[in-house]
Amino acid sequence: MSAVDLTQSFLGAVFSGQLEEALALTAPEARFISVSPRDNAANPLHGTFVGPEGAKAFFGGFGALLEPGEFTVEAAFGDDHHAALYGQFRHTVRATGKPFASDWALITRVEGGKLTLYHFYEDSDALTRART
pLDDT score at 44: 80
Architecture of 3-131 per CATH? Roll (3.10)
pLDDT band at residue 121 under the 50/70/90 scheme: very high
pTM to 2 decimals?
A: 0.93
pLDDT score at 43: 81
Domain boundaries, the chain: 3-131
The per-residue pLDDT for range 37-83, each reduced to its tens digit, is 999 887 888 999 999 999 999 999 899 999 999 999 999 999 999 99
If you write DSSP's letter for every residue of 25-54 in order, what string do you get?
Answer: TEEEEEEEEES-SS--TT-TT-SEEEHHHH
Residue 118 pLDDT > 80, yes or no? yes
Range 77-96 average pLDDT: 97
Calpha distance 60→45 (Å, rounded) = 10
As a whole-number percent, the residues of the chain with pLDDT over 70 amount to 100
pLDDT band at residue 3 under the 50/70/90 scheme: very high
- Angle formed at CA 118 by CA 113 and CA 121, multiple of 5 degrees: 150
pLDDT band at residue 1 under the 50/70/90 scheme: confident
